[in-house]
Amino acid sequence: SSRACRVSVVVPVVNEEACISSCLASLGALDPPPLEVIVVDGGSRDGTAGRVRKARARRVALIETDFGSRAKQMNEGARVAKGDFVMFLHADTVPPLDAVSLVDRSFADPRVVLGAFTAILAHEGRTMWGMNLLHQAKTHLGACFFRPMAAARGMKVFFGDQAMVVRREAFVSCGGFHESLSTMEDMDLCVKMFYGIKSLEAGRTSLQQSRGKQSRGARLVAIDRCVHTSGRRVAEWGSLKSLQLFLVLSLSYAFGASPSALNELAGKVYSEIR
């Protein structure tokens, strides 16, 4: 349908030479195709930008920046996007072939402002079932730990490797991703869009600012299909360390850590913020 083609795909990249070509090939196979694909490079030092230029098709655009911040990269991509819906896709994530139609159906209710797929992590032919189950629990039960009433009203917690999709009008209205965050910007966006927070006070996360607020009827939906995501980071760190990093950062956010404190913590535990 004409509506189904009004999906823009934004791919934030930094040093993704190894997988950007396959990412663009998977997007080129989508049926129906997205309106456009916008690759936002955050200052790669490898051949990422060159591979995008070589693979550039009619619907693929490249924006080169020195941001080095995924939140800023995704906001920049959404700023120039023409679609009614914007999918934020990691370069190592493969969406289903009918992803555009699935977005169209999932956002048929005008109250839906944010959605995401189910991520299936795998590496070198091995499916990481433990991490996948954690993902599922986090999506549907995570909000219970810090906003139980909001969770009862449908609040969900999505992360970037689930190919998050936003209604662009609502995304722009709330100011997009929190650019002061170099980590947890995806979880923060879930809170921000659920509560309809339109402006952030300096030095505070959306969760900190949401205290005492009521949802304005916005809906967050889990799109009923899987995306396949590389488990390369889990393989690099190991399952136990990956679980530890996830719990430390997510619980720090949930218990009210400031953006600067979260960034400092992330700097200690991550070798590279993707």
CA distance 82 to 70: 20
**Is the confidence at residue 272, as pLDDT, over 80?**
no
190-242 confidence digits (pLDDT tens) = 999 999 998 888 899 999 999 888 888 899 999 999 999 998 888 787 878 88
Confidence band of 274 (pLDDT split at 50, 70, 90): very low
**Count of Cβ atoms closer than 10 Å to residue 238 Cβ:** 10
> What pLDDT, on a 0 to 100 scale, did the predictor assign at position 218?
94
In DSSP terms, 60 is beta-bridged to 37
Indicate the Cα dihedral angle 62, 121, 138, 239, nearest 10°.
-120
CA distance 23 to 21: 5
DSSP classification of residue 16: -
159-175 confidence digits (pLDDT tens) = 999 999 999 999 999 99
> What pLDDT, on a 0 to 100 scale, did the predictor assign at position 110?
95
104-163 confidence digits (pLDDT tens) = 999 999 999 999 999 999 988 888 888 888 878 888 888 888 899 999 999 999 999 999
Placement of tokens 């991520």 in the chain: 119
**In a 10 Å sphere around its CB, with 0-12 CB exposed, 13-18 middle and 19+ buried, how is residue 205 labelled?**
buried
- The b/e string for 123-147 (b: 16+ C-beta within 10 A; e otherwise) is eeeeebeebbebbeebbeebbeebb
60-99 confidence digits (pLDDT tens) = 999 999 988 999 999 999 999 999 999 999 999 999 999 9
**Count of Cβ atoms closer than 10 Å to residue 198 Cβ:** 9
